Structure 1
Amino acid sequence: MAAVVLTPSGPFSLAASMRFLEGFTPASYQGTADEVLRLAFPADDGHSTVAAAVRQEETAEGAAGRVRAEFTMYPGTPADPASAGTGPGTGPGSGPGSGPGPDSGPGPDSGPGPGSGEAVRAQLARILSLDVDGSGFPGLAADPVVAGLMADYPGLRPVCFHSPYEAAAWAVIGHRIRMTQAAAVKARLAERHGRRVRIEGRTLYAFPTPPALRAITRAPGLTEVKIERLHALAEAADAGELDAARLRSMPVDDALAALRALPGIGPFSAELILIRGAGHPDVFPRHEPRLHAAMADAYGLDEAASGDIRRLAGIADRWQPYRSWVGLLLRVRAAEIGGRTS
């Protein structure tokens, strides 16, 4: 098992991230009392799976402690059925099931290969929004609304999907069905076609890698059209079209247009993939009505203002370069008030 260390720049609380994940339906995350964040996910390399245990050091009050992640990489190849995970499991957070695990198919790497540790470090940093310099975020407290959000959710940064690929898959799976249904479908795909790993006493199932996703021909809860679209997304991921660094380096409008060109990805989903998949810190979503309603309410605007995107975008300009971050905090508050999941 290897380890990487992330040093937050600006406020950050891993405990706040874990509380967020427990209420984030797509994650199907079950927390523990030991304040260890356990993750299993397809690596950005497109074929490996990463299992990680993440902790944050305790420091003096007001300081963000360093984040340490111990991880194992499990190689996978398109030709290896065991690495894709063909057996059914027993559910996230449960004991070992009959699905694939460290003892079926290729085992964990004996040690990180050249560059693999840095690649995992970069991916974990993106997932936790620790790849962004947050030292300027407290300066947004000049806006009373943002100041209130910071006070209510200290140290909370966006917790992203593990990759733009996984965010895009979620968008396709969840099209025209309830989030809870979509989460169940996504969890079943992970149990039956992803890799089962043990992380500090718990069993987790990673979402299928692109090669494993392409091999699926039938799955409960997925129509033929959705399966075709998932295959197309897997191919796009293999081709580098869902590379996070690439998407974030492009002008926002160009990145969104490229994402909308993918099968099954509309304007709302494109924004989701860029913001919560690629981890772009400074995008104001123009196709997220619940956020717009939350903004109108927070700023004391009339109901009609929630449909005035230009006006809302002007307000959001005050949040630069953290428009995505403030948007998430507004959604979290709205979800708590309304009893919904962010």
Structure 2
Amino acid sequence: MTVPAVASFTPKGPFSLASSIRFLEGFTPASHGHAAGDVLRMAFPADDGRGVIGCTVSQAETASAGAAGAGAPAPVTAEFTVHRGTGPAAHSAARAQIARILSLDVDGTGYPALGGSDPVVAGLQADYPGLRPPCFYTPYEAAAWAVIGNRVRRTQAAAIKARLARDHGRAVDVGGARLHTFPTPEVLRTIDHVTGLTSTKVERLHAIADAAFDGRLDAATLRAEPAESALRALRELPGIGPFSAELILIRGAGHPDIFPTAEPRVHQSMATEYALDAATAADPARLAAIADAWRPYRSWVALLLRARAHDRAAAQARI
């Protein structure tokens, strides 16, 4: 029997669930796009790799979650159900996972101050008030997405991922909607054929499932290690290169302070926003030196730069 539970989060520093929802509407890989008004619905494998969680997330209306960080942001409420897992330990683990997915496990009280010394950051914070990185549900799911999406169009990869959830994930009722979770590792490792994927990619997905069971994709462990050590270990997984390793650590494990050296869209956005010369724009080391001023929120600023680049491209496409 599943027992519903409620968790309340008091954000430390600016946070806007509405901003997260707007970002997720254009971020198909995470498959978060189940919003009704200002309520976010999610269904996903639990961190233990066996259970699944369904939850709705809401935040009271507030004018205090903006870039300037004035006042206290409104509390965030998650109503959730753990399937195949009961008791205080399962609920505590679910609460921690939900917080990580929304980057509410990070103390962001010092984040607004970055804008005081960097006009570019100040502009980004003003344009995307309260936006923290919404993460993949687990590093495991981020790694699976990296394998599925390698060298195929994002829309095609998203369709394959959604089909895997529909055909092999668990269906759960969340806030009046029927959602399908991505397959748990124990299910994924048994799938021998996936329409749209090569046999090599299916084998790599099996390796990702095995790594999740072995603890090599545990979010807390990855974040506790020195970043380069964690990235090196991730690159040892089949099909995971530098770009994918950073994706898993930043957007899977929710590491708040990594500059993505293998993310050209972030680099191009930096070049535009900081009016960099061509030599600087093409040198990741020089870009990383600029990003040092964003510590300890380098991942957060990088996400805003990516959001800005996405919005600029969308605006150009409408012309």
TM-score after normalising by structure 1: 0.87
Q: What letter is aligned with 2:90? A: S
Specify the alignment match of 2:78 in structure 1. 69
In structure 2, distance between residues paired with 1:12 and 1:238:
33
In structure 2, distance between residues paired with 1:147 and 1:238:
42
Specify the alignment match of 2:114 in structure 1. 140
Deviation at 1:201, TM superposition (A): 1.5
Specify the alignment match of 1:235 in structure 2. 210
Which of 166, 186, 190 is equivalent to 1:211? 186
Secondary structure of the structure 2 residue equivalent to 1:217: coil
Specify the alignment match of 1:185 in structure 2. 160
Deviation at 1:64, TM superposition (A): 1.0
In structure 2, distance between residues paired with 1:61 and 1:273:
31
Q: What letter is aligned with 2:179? A: L
Deviation at 1:197, TM superposition (A): 1.1
Deviation at 1:214, TM superposition (A): 0.6
In structure 2, distance between residues paired with 1:28 and 1:212:
19
Tell me if 1:131 matches 2:105: yes
Alignment RMSD (CA, Å): 1.3
Deviation at 1:59, TM superposition (A): 4.0
Q: Which moved more, 1:274-283 or 1:25-34?
A: 25-34
Contact 2:82 2:91 in 1 (8 A): no
Deviation track 1:18-69 (CA, whole Å, cap 9, x = no partner) reads 1111100213443544311100000001100000011112346453111111
* Structural mapping, 1:1-342, within 5 Å: 1-59=4-62, 61-62=64-65, 63-75=72-84, 112-141=86-115, 142-339=117-314
In structure 1, distance between residues paired with 2:146 and 2:15:
28
Deviation track 1:141-189 (CA, whole Å, cap 9, x = no partner) reads 1200000000000000000000100000000000110111100000000
In structure 1, distance between residues paired with 2:222 and 2:165:
25
Secondary structure of the structure 2 residue equivalent to 1:50: strand
Secondary structure of the structure 1 residue equivalent to 2:147: helix
In structure 2, distance between residues paired with 1:306 and 1:228:
37
Deviation at 1:307, TM superposition (A): 1.1
User: Which ranges in structure 1 are unaligned for 5 or more consecutive residues?
Assistant: 76-108
Q: What letter is aligned with 2:107? A: D
Specify the alignment match of 1:92 in structure 2. none
Does the C-alpha gap of structure 1 residues 244 and 228 become closer, same or farther in structure 2, counting only changes over 3 Å?
same
In structure 2, distance between residues paired with 1:284 and 1:194:
33
Secondary structure of the structure 1 residue equivalent to 2:112: helix
Does the C-alpha gap of structure 1 residues 205 and 176 become closer, same or farther in structure 2, counting only changes over 3 Å?
same
Q: What letter is aligned with 1:332? A: A
Contact 1:185 1:220 in 2 (8 A): yes
Contact 2:24 2:134 in 1 (8 A): yes
User: Which ranges in structure 2 are unaligned for 5 or more consecutive residues?
Assistant: 66-71
Secondary structure of the structure 2 residue equivalent to 1:137: coil
Aligned residues: 305
Deviation at 1:208, TM superposition (A): 0.4
In structure 2, distance between residues paired with 1:60 and 1:226:
46
Q: What letter is aligned with 2:26? A: G
Specify the alignment match of 2:69 in structure 1. none
Deviation at 1:207, TM superposition (A): 0.3
Contact 2:143 2:240 in 1 (8 A): yes
Contact 1:149 1:330 in 2 (8 A): yes
Deviation at 1:74, TM superposition (A): 1.3
Q: What letter is aligned with 1:115? A: A
Deviation track 1:128-149 (CA, whole Å, cap 9, x = no partner) reads 0000000000010120000000
Q: What letter is aligned with 2:39? A: V
In structure 2, distance between residues paired with 1:61 and 1:248:
29
In structure 2, distance between residues paired with 1:203 and 1:305:
49
Does the C-alpha gap of structure 1 residues 310 and 30 become closer, same or farther in structure 2, counting only changes over 3 Å?
closer
Deviation at 1:113, TM superposition (A): 1.3
Specify the alignment match of 1:103 in structure 2. none
In structure 2, distance between residues paired with 1:30 and 1:268:
24
Secondary structure of the structure 2 residue equivalent to 1:38: strand
Deviation at 1:299, TM superposition (A): 0.3
Q: What letter is aligned with 1:155? A: G
Secondary structure of the structure 2 residue equivalent to 1:44: coil
